[in-house]
Amino acid sequence: MSSTEIDLHQQLKKYFGFSQFKGLQEQVITSIVNGHNTFVVMPTGGGKSLCYQLPALIADGTAIVVSPLIALMKNQVDAIRGISSEHGVAHVLNSSLNKSEVKQVKEDIVNGITKLLYVAPESLTKEENVEFLRSVEISFMAVDEAHCISEWGHDFRPEYRNLRQIIKRIGDNIPIIGLTATATPKVQEDILKNLGITDANTFKASFNRPNLYYEIRPKTKNVDADIIRFVKQNEGKSGIIYCLSRKRVEELAQTLQVNGVSAVPYHAGLDAKTRVKHQDMFIMEDVDVVVATIAFGMGIDKPDVRFVIHHDIPKSLESYYQETGRAGRDGGEGHCLAFYSYKDIEKLEKFMSGKPVAEQEIGHALLQEVVGYAETSMSRRKFLLHYFGEEFDEETGEGASMDDNVQNPKKKHEAQEDVELLLKVVKETKQIYKAKELVNTLIGKANALILSHKTDEHVLFGKGKDKDNKYWMALIRQVLVAGMLRKDIETYGVVKLTDKGKEYLKAPVSFMMTEDHIFNSITESEIKI
């Protein structure tokens, strides 16, 4: 089978009733149909499922779809069954099936009826399943939510690490397609390596959501009143408010209700019936606001959510992007407001203590990015997209004006000499330090690591002490985003010079910077000395 022999548009119309492909779908599908390993990075709602469903429906044999969430698998299977006259066209294979159900699934596969077989990674590790799948014709293997393979993804699942071995056992030449909505460059690299598809055709859609407005406000003890005011100003509009704890969800939902806002709570501690009820109330617009933990949102497709508020800052920018991404799906207004206090970062740090060291290091590095995002006074969109490995022009890019920093710009000042000094310090200290040590070196504060490398004896030590630590931290972040420095992921954030940075040292030019916001609640511990 090759795409040249098939009219993909005709198939799209036939199975899904759509007359056009969305974004990169057609290219992705062509790649799969032609038997190539394929890697797809698209934001949520981009239309990833169709990328493997359509090729599966038109291919010979059965496509295996690995997905971590049973609920989502069931939804997809129901949807596929709805578009085909054959009930057995899609099946789920998991441990909840009884013997006769498993027999039916296998029969349908053997008879060539089943085009899509959804499995959880755990089911794939079962010997009998592997043996069976070896014996039948498999068209390709789709690994959905592929970021689960990476410790740097927001939902690491160790079972995903075995997938490559299992796929190999099922068949040597089965094309693999990995799909994810969350991919920093490091996660992407992990996926390609772990799935053994470094040769994959890669399709990456932009993560820019031009209609979303990003705003960060300091979180004070009046945060509830601030939220009530915001919600009242947006009366009648649908919104989600995320809190870290179930208790806070309950309290805030009550506070809102008392203040005349129609709101319901949602968290995993509520019984299933209540959860479904509250979710439906939100979707059917019987209530305006859901106050929720992160348990809310997966698979919820309400296009006209007009605001997402973070009562507590999330633990990574992936989570932030994912959660704010639930606003404005229809392309209309979507206000993303987060309340930030450094104390919340410390709280999140505390949650991590006791975890394995590597996990803590990762968690810490991810949190530092959240701090950088919250405190920066540069274009938030640029910062966020840079984090996802994407360039964004803050003057001309789509949605460039849509954040608080761009709307209320801070004065910029010339920082050419400081950039030179910073880059020199990185170079002279042999590119071994993370941002914290670089700042300390600049302001002349020694710590154990600095002493052990005798950096305190270097001529550059303390050369930037006329400015404070916050100033230097802000500059480092802006120079990172400008691409003259980069954080090395393997070492959890050691700062390295890029070629662009080396060039700058040879031929420095003007660099206009803005200082970070100062949040009152930030404590000295921001830079732990």
Task: Give the nearest distance from C-beta 330 to ligand ADP in angstroms.
Answer: 11
Cβ atoms within 10 Å of 492's Cβ, excluding its own: 17
29 binds ligand ADP (CB under 6 A): no
- Minimum distance of ligand ADP from residue 46's CB (angstroms): 4
Question: Bridge-partner residues for 176, per DSSP?
Answer: 141
Contact 52, 175 (CB under 8 A): no
DSSP assignment letter at 434: B
What is the C-alpha separation between 250 and 268, in angstroms, rounded?
Answer: 12
State the angle between helix axes of 469-481 and 416-428 in degrees (0 to 180), rounded to the nearest 10.
90
Instruction: Give residue 229's Cα distance to chain centre.
Output: 29
> Residue 22, by phi and psi: left (phi above 0), alpha (psi -120 to 50) or beta?
beta
Output 43 or 175, the one with its CB closest to ligand ADP.
43
Per CB under 6 A, the segment of 2-10, 14-22, 108-116, 158-166 that binds ligand ADP is 14-22
Please report how close the Cβ of residue 390 comes to ligand ADP at its closest, in angstroms.
17
Q: Positive or negative, the Cα torsion across 385, 388, 390, 391?
A: positive
Closer by beta carbon to ligand ADP, 20 or else 173: 20
Of residues 233-262, those binding ligand ADP (CB under 6 A): none
Task: Please identify which residue in 38, 49, 322, 405 interacts with ligand ADP, judged by CB under 6 A.
Answer: 49
Nearer to ligand ADP, 320 or 373 (CB): 320
How many angstroms separate the CA atoms of 439 and 462, rounded?
Answer: 9
In the numeric block, the tokens 């010339």 are attached to 414
Work out whether 22 is an interface residue with ligand ADP (CB under 6 A). yes
Smaller CB distance to ligand ADP: residue 207 or 471? 207
**Could you give the 3-state DSSP secondary structure of residue 129?**
helix
Please give the distance of CA 474 from its chain centroid, rounded to a whole number: 23
Burial (CB count within 10 angstroms: exposed 0-12, middle 13-18, buried 19+), residue 164: middle
46 scored as a contact of ligand ADP (CB under 6 A): yes
Between residue 115 and residue 154, which ones bind ligand ADP under the rule CB under 6 A?
Answer: none
The tokens describing 67, both together, are: 């997905």
CB 83 within 8 A of CB 61: no
Residues in binding contact with ligand ADP, number by CB under 6 A: 13
Nearest distance, CB of residue 194 and ligand ADP, angstroms: 21
| Segment contacting ligand ADP by CB under 6 A, of 38-46, 258-266, 371-379, 404-412 | 38-46
Q: Which of 509, 411, 417, 394 is nearest to 472 (CA)?
A: 417
By CB under 6 A, name the one of 3, 8, 27, 47 that touches ligand ADP. Answer: 47
Q: How far does Cα 132 stand from its chain's mean position?
A: 35
| Among the residue ranges 18-26, 159-167, 229-237, 374-382, the one whose residues contact ligand ADP (CB under 6 A) | 18-26
Nearer to ligand ADP, 19 or 452 (CB): 19
Within 449-508, the residues that bind ligand ADP by CB under 6 A are none
Q: Which residue has the tokens 């789509």?
A: 398
174 binds ligand ADP (CB under 6 A): no
Alpha carbon 36 to its chain's center? 26
- Cα maximum dimension of the chain: 77
**Closer residue to ligand ADP (CB): 47 or 483:** 47
What is the distance between the alpha carbons of residues 274 and 78, in angstroms, rounded to a whole number? 23
Q: For ligand ADP, which residue of 31, 48, 92, 121 counts as binding (CB under 6 A)?
A: 48
203 binds ligand ADP (CB under 6 A): no
Contact set for ligand ADP, span 50-109 (CB under 6 A) = 50
- Looking at the Cβ atoms of 43 and 493, the one nearer to ligand ADP is 43
Least spacing, CB of residue 207 vs ligand ADP, in Å: 12
CB of residue 183 to ligand ADP, shortest distance in Å = 12
Binding to ligand ADP by CB under 6 A, coded x per residue (else -) over 297-336, reads ----------------------------------------
Q: Name the 3-class secondary structure at 507.
A: coil
The C-alpha atoms of residue 476 and residue 425 are separated, in whole angstroms, by 12
Distance CA 141, CA 63 (A): 6
Among residues 15, 35, 45, 155, which is the contact residue for ligand ADP, using CB under 6 A?
Answer: 45
Nearer to ligand ADP, 142 or 197 (CB): 142
The only residue of 3, 8, 18, 486 in contact with ligand ADP, by rule CB under 6 A: 18
44 forms part of the interface with ligand ADP (CB under 6 A):
yes
Q: How far is the CB of 67 from ligand ADP (least distance, A)?
A: 10
Amino acid letter at 188?
A: Q
Residue appearing with tokens 């099946």: 91
Give the C-alpha separation, 258 to 505, whole Å. Answer: 60
The footprint of ligand ADP (CB under 6 A) covers 18, 20-22, 25, 42, 44-50
